[in-house]
Amino acid sequence: MSYVTIQVEDLSKQYRLGVVGTGTLSHDLNRWWYKVRGKPDPYLKLTEINRHSQKAGGNYVWALKDINFQVEQGEVLGIIGSNGAGKSTLLKILSQVTAPTTGMFKARGRIASLLEVGTGFHHELTGRENIFLNGAILGMTKSEIKSKLDEIVSFSGVERYVDTPVKRYSSGMKVRLAFAVAAHLEPEILIVDEVLAVGDAAFQKKAIGKMQQVSHNSGRTVLFVSHNMGAVSRLCTRGLVLKEGSHYFDGSADEAVQEYANINLNSSEPEISLRNDRQGMGDFRFTSVRVENEALRPAEEIRTGSRVFIHTTLKSRQGGEPKKVYAAVCFRDALDNRLFTLSSSLFGKRISLEEETLLTFEIPRMPLSEGLYLCDLYIAEGRGDTLVQDYVRNAFKLKVFGNDFFDSGDPQPVGLDKFYTDFRIVKNQEKEIISSKI
């Protein structure tokens, strides 16, 4: 007979913006003065939601607001939502890393958490020593940990480095070992944040299989946060969707994934120059984006197989020095799956930016079939996540209609595996940067 392992009631978490510690005494005195007069906390009356793309109007935001749900033994709950929805904050509260501002939760059983790379590790200790340390924290005896040791090391794939200090491990090695420890030391509740994205595809598949085994065979509860909607659908029995810190939807995993897709498709973002949820150093920023069709007219809908131009403007902040950057536009579907990226880094070519630069991404034949797509804009001085200048997620949306990519007269859905697409990056209306394939 199953029982409730996690009960969450009216859970809320409030954060103060700005420098931590500034004005703490005055706020504490003000709270005390309200309390002795029998009045509610004046700061908890603030109700500004945590919307990353807009500038805050007050000093406080609610990262979570009035969350209610319960999880039964053996259930796998997927927690999904956009960046800033409150997923990680919720897991930190359930893992007792931070305390809620209001509300409460009850957990029945030991909790093992994997919230970020290297969670729970002492980096000066070896992998083997950290396995024993984590087991001891979970209340296991040395003999119990020893009986699991070989299985943990084998699953993590770090046999060769198990006696090496963890500080010398790569991010992927840390994640593999941390997950192996959390999954094999038999906690009643396993909490996994989206850190599995650091691992390679083979390990992600292996980890998902282990979590299924843990829940189905051992009756343990799993809370799983991921932007990989396919993994959520395969692994989870239930889905909880958070939106701007609030409880938005609770239902089956497939229903939750569809609701998340609807949020992405129906959400509206401020003009790109006003976006505050961007990442990067910001010496240069995207200030405008405009899509044109093959007739060189602004368009929100593009026919599959037709030419499309994505015009972007970049400006330096306070007359910064010219820089050479890699530039890219990334296309994702409504479920957040990355489809393809057009980037100058594919060919090692950096683009020189002046005080104001116009970059145009030109696709001679739009490869996507009918649907609505989300597009990110990105510039960085280095490859990957190195020296990012500006990264705007969901910078714009693009609707594609029609499925007859080959102009055959026979509409057929087109798969990205059936062809490649040409693209070109044009600087200041001069056709010069790249003309190649992805």
What is the secondary structure of 57-92 as a DSSP string? SSSEEEEEEEEEEEEETT-EEEEE-STTSSHHHHHH
CATH fold of 4-109+188-266 reads Rossmann fold (3.40.50)
**Two tokens at 19?**
């420098």
Burial 313-347 (b: 16+ CB within 10 A, else e): bbbbeeeeeebebbbbbbbbbbbbeeebbbbbbee
Question: What superfamily would CATH give domain 272-437?
Answer: abc- transporter (atp binding component) like domain (2.70.50.60)
List the pLDDT tens digit at each of the 438 positions of the chain: 678 999 999 999 988 765 444 456 776 777 778 778 877 666 665 445 555 545 545 567 888 999 999 999 999 999 998 877 889 899 999 988 888 988 999 999 888 887 776 667 888 999 999 999 888 877 778 898 899 899 999 988 889 999 999 999 988 888 888 888 888 877 889 888 876 666 677 787 888 888 888 888 888 899 998 887 888 888 899 999 998 888 889 999 999 988 888 887 777 678 898 888 888 988 999 999 999 999 889 988 899 889 999 999 999 987 667 889 999 999 988 877 888 888 888 777 888 888 899 999 999 888 888 888 999 999 999 876 678 999 998 899 999 988 766 665 555 444 444 344 678 888 887 755 554 544
Where are the domains positioned within the chain? 4-109+188-266, 272-437
User: Residues 6 or more apart from 399 whose CB is under 8 A from it?
Assistant: 300, 301, 302, 371, 372, 373
Burial class (CB in 10 A: 0-12, 13-18, 19+), 166: buried
The secondary structure element, H or E, covering residue 5 is strand 4-16
**Two tokens at 286?**
């995207």
**Two tokens at 260?**
């998340």
pLDDT at 438: 41
**Two tokens at 61?**
């935001």
The two counts, helices (H) then strands (E), for the chain are 8, 20
Establish whether domains 4-109+188-266 and 272-437 are of one fold. Answer: no
pLDDT at 416: 43
pLDDT at 164: 94
Query: Given the structure tokens 């084998």, which residue do they identify?
Result: 154
| Residue count (the chain) | 438
DSSP track, 336-376: --EEEEEEGGGGT--EEE-SEEEEEEEESS----SEEEEEE
